[in-house]
Chains A and B, each alone.
Chain A
Amino acid sequence: MRTDFFLLHLFLLLFFSGCDMFEAHPYDAYVRGEKNINEKQIAKLEEQLKDASTFRFAFISDTQRWYDETEDVVKHINAREDVDFVVHGGDISDFGATHEFTMQRDILHNFTMPWVTLLGNHDCLGTGEHVYKEIFGNPNFSFQAGNTLFICLNTNALEYDYSEPVPDFEFLENLMTELPEHIKRTIVVMHAPPFDSVFNNNVAKVFQMYLKNFPGLMFCLHGHLHQYTVSDLFQDGILYFQTPNVGKRSYLLFTINEEGYEYEVVEF
């Protein structure tokens, strides 16, 4: 009888303490906790940097399955106290499994400054893209830091097999027509760079032409290949900076001022 009682007790304990541990499927797309994060973070960011002519942001990327390193980078950037916001270049999940997104979200949420996250190719696997949209929002988005426009784009064309326009030129056209007058400079962020196998390379040059139509295109940022690189991809003077994956324990730090920009590779 005592064994019965013990088992019943254990059963009830597991039932009530472990509600998060009941999972229909690793790809069930059941999102607990905060959703629509990019929109909320952008509202905060734009408010804080409304009149800023100088600001500093960190660019991290490819944090998939490097949970310990992601925790470390959050602590490190918070401790600096000189970073205005953080941009994550995508691949927050490795397999597209739902819990990967929520684990990463809960780590990144410890940033004391605003942060936004792009969609990576790994984030598209299985039901991953649905989960990304639920937690972060639309994979194409933009925000303003003072007079600088940030365009964040889904460039993972291979994942869509031409079923959706990637990159989305209509999004860029709409953005261009609705551009506020005070925007003087533009920075473009993406996960996979042009000429990568994930990118729709048939439109790589068209893509670059569209980007150069935006006022004062400064440079482009990407992740994906897990290394630090600076390349003039189109031989036209527009640099593409790549930040390493978080597992390399380094990130890019950009300071934008009235004259232009400075950057450094920070190791942590």
Chain B
Amino acid sequence: MSMKWLNFKMLLVGISLLYTFPLTAQSTIVDIGPKDTLYNSDYQYRLDKYQRQWNRLIPMHTVFQYAGGMGLISVGAGWTYGKNKQWETDVLFGYIPKYSSDKIKITMTLKQNYIPWKVPLKHNWTLEPLECGLYFNTVFSDEFWTSEPDRYPKGYYGFSTRVRTHIFVGQRIRMNIPEKYRKLAKSITAFYEISSCDLYIVSAFTNHLKLDDYLRLSFGLKFQIF
């Protein structure tokens, strides 16, 4: 019972966070002049404003990602913002196959990307030599908990099996699609990321581990719709 509620809470927190990111980061709404010169009625003015506000919540890109601790395959949508479009916020849903466990699992990821530089290459290509950021992942399955169930003595394990924090660095290359060829996207970005999660980082700190014991690789594609 409490597990289901926690799932739901996580979802709510995730979604509300997502909505606040683009709203706070983008410049203020463009206000089109005095309303009486452009609009026939107050109603028209308010309707237009209302629609413009909600339109800004339409995701600007879609993402497909392979591996990276957020599912074998993840599919998501996100927003591009910032003066130089250096910020991105994505929300992804991933799928973990059953493997040796007893069921397949769905995960949700909230991901924040920072892309500080863009290097124009020949033709329609742009290199993004560094991408970095972090993401939070949660699993929808009752074998995981966010905080320990009541049966345990307080603070027995002291960590969440459900929520993982990952940090990553990566690189991306973007191909702008010339206008005459555009169908659904104006550009396609391919990327790879090297990441690690909280559990692996604490393990690596106190031991002499090999790189591939705590670093994870993933790659993906981003389709910029507008």
Q: A residues engaging B (CB < 8 A)?
A: 1, 3-4, 7, 10-11, 14-15, 18, 20-31, 65-68, 94-97, 99-100, 103, 122, 125-127, 130-131, 133-134, 158, 161, 197
The 3 closest A-B pairs by CB, nearest first: A29-B101, A24-B72, A22-B67
Give the residues in chain B near A96, CB-CB below 8 Å.
Answer: 161
Q: When chains A and B are docked, how far (Å) is the Cα of A254 from the Cα of B192?
A: 52
Q: Are the C-beta atoms of B100 and A67 separated by less than 8 Å?
A: no
Q: Are the C-beta atoms of B153 and A197 separated by less than 8 Å?
A: yes
Give the residues in chain B near A20, CB-CB below 8 Å.
Answer: 212
Give chain B nearest CB distance to A22 CB in angstroms. 4
Q: Are the C-beta atoms of B66 and A22 separated by less than 8 Å?
A: yes
Known: A126-B143, A134-B100. A14 touches B171 (CB 8 A): no
Q: Are the C-beta atoms of A125 and B217 separated by less than 8 Å?
A: no
Q: Which B residue's beta carbon lies closest to that of A133?
A: B100
Q: Mark B157-174, 1 if CB is under 8 A from A, else 0.
A: 101010010000001010
Q: Which B residue's beta carbon lies closest to that of A157?
A: B151
Q: Count of A-B contacts with CB under 8 A?
A: 122
In chain B, positions 110-136 with a C-beta closer than 8 Å to chain A are 119, 121-122, 125, 127
Q: Are the C-beta atoms of B203 and A100 separated by less than 8 Å?
A: yes
Q: Are the C-beta atoms of B96 and A18 separated by less than 8 Å?
A: no
Give chain A nearest CB distance to B143 CB in angstroms. 6
Q: Which A residue's beta carbon lies closest to that of B205?
A: A65
Q: Which of A10, A25, A133 contacts B70 (CB 8 A)?
A: A25
Give chain B nearest CB distance to A38 CB in angstroms. 16
Give the residues in chain B near A3, CB-CB below 8 Å.
Answer: 119, 121, 127
Q: When chains A and B are docked, how far (Å) is the Cα of A4 from the Cα of B173?
A: 8
Q: B residues engaging A (CB < 8 A)?
A: 66-72, 94, 96-102, 105, 107, 119, 121-122, 125, 127, 137, 139, 143-144, 149, 151-153, 157, 159, 161, 164, 171, 173, 190, 192, 197, 199-200, 202-203, 206-209, 212-213, 215-219
Give chain A nearest CB distance to B145 CB in angstroms. 9
Q: Are the C-beta atoms of A22 and B217 separated by less than 8 Å?
A: yes
Q: Are the C-beta atoms of A14 and B71 separated by less than 8 Å?
A: no
Known: A15-B219, A18-B212, A22-B217. A130 touches B100 (CB 8 A): yes
Q: When chains A and B are docked, how far (Å) is the Cα of A15 from the Cα of B101?
A: 26
Give chain B nearest CB distance to A121 CB in angstroms. 9
Q: Which A residue's beta carbon lies closest to that of B68?
A: A23
Q: Which of A4, A21, A31, A158 contacts B216 (CB 8 A)?
A: A21
Q: Which of B71, B99, B161, B197 contacts A125 (CB 8 A)?
A: B161
Give chain B nearest CB distance to A124 CB in angstroms. 10
Give chain B nearest CB distance to A175 CB in angstroms. 26
Q: Are the C-beta atoms of B171 and A7 separated by less than 8 Å?
A: yes
Q: Which B residue's beta carbon lies closest to that of A15?
A: B219
Q: Are the C-beta atoms of A14 and B192 separated by less than 8 Å?
A: yes
Give the residues in chain B near A26, CB-CB below 8 Å.
Answer: 69, 164, 197, 199-200
Q: Are the C-beta atoms of B161 and A126 separated by less than 8 Å?
A: yes
Give the residues in chain B near A103, CB-CB below 8 Å.
Answer: 209, 213
Q: Which B residue's beta carbon lies closest to that of A6?
A: B127
